Amino acid sequence: MSNPPSPVTAANPPRPVRPAPRASSGLVLSTVKYLMRTEVHTFAFSVAANAILSFFPFVVLMMTLIRRVFHSRVMSEVVIQLLRDDLPAGQDFVIRNLNAMVNSRQRVQFASLIILLVTSSGIFLPLEVALNRVWHFEKNRSYLGNQVVSFGLAFACGVLALLSIALTAGPVAFIEFLLRGHGKDFVSAVGFIVMKLFAIAASIAIFFLIYWVLPNGKVPVRAVLPTAIIMGLLSEALKYAYILALPWLNFQEVYGPFALSVSLMFWAFLSGLLLLAGAHLSAEEHLRLSL
């Protein structure tokens, strides 16, 4: 005759054994496989092309607002410093031509606004399709719905950029006032540090908004916020790694006068891949924890 089950065993039946979660190395390997897909490269190239088309109108509008609305010399200098730091190549050429465009007649700024509205949708439309596939959302937004969301995200990115510039210009202007024109090297060093801090914060916020708002479905904040922070920091590291690699890539020898355009396009393509990699990581991690 078998022994009756003990009270402890009867009261506390054994829980079913759940499979162990995949290690972080598994997530990294899954992301590498994801980045090797043909469709991911198609999405990244589409984003890169439209990002290049929208970058110059965006900066022209930003500089126009700062010079003609805010009338802030310090904010204008912060924008130029940001361009020198963020562009991987051709900084002087780009800044010189942007200044010429900003100083031109008003119709150039109006044209920039129209071009920006068109090209911003070209950035976010393929991104929405890519993020919906990452999160397994079956239905994409309608074209009109995507245009509305794209315009909102473009406006939010502009506000974040302006806020970052203003928050940088404030301390710099205050230190300049205290030093009365002395200690220019100290002011430049402080300005650069403050600029980097707010620029990285704005980059993290933009990553978060894209990951959270753009998919056509409910995405948990806790699933995308850590990834946005990591991708914002990684994008800064990737930029400097790309700048260091430019002499070995030697685009000038291959593309001649088009080397600058190719450098910017390739940089935008790498940034697009990074953004998609972060989206895949956050979705995979969330789905793993939900099992």
Residue given tokens 């995949």 in the structure block? 22
Residue 208 · residue 233 · CB < 8 Å = no
Name which residue leads in pLDDT, 183 or 29: 29
Residue given tokens 């904010």 in the structure block? 75
Integer angstrom CA distances of residue 201 from 24, 27, 157, 180, 193: 26, 26, 12, 30, 12
**Cα–Cα distance, 280 to 273 (Å, whole number):** 10
pLDDT in tens, 143-176: 889 888 988 898 898 899 889 988 888 888 888 8
Integer angstrom CA distances of residue 194 from 4, 78, 180, 191: 72, 10, 20, 5
Name which residue leads in pLDDT, 17 or 154: 154
> Is 81's pLDDT higher than 60?
yes
pLDDT in tens, 93-130: 888 888 887 777 566 666 667 777 777 778 898 999 99
Residue 108, pLDDT score: 60
> Is 18's pLDDT higher than 70?
no
What percent of the chain stands above pLDDT 90? Answer: 31
Integer angstrom CA distances of residue 44 from 34, 50, 60, 119: 12, 10, 24, 15
Mean pLDDT of the region 37-62: 88
Residue 280, pLDDT score: 94
Contacts of 212 (CB under 8 A, 6+ apart): 219, 221, 224
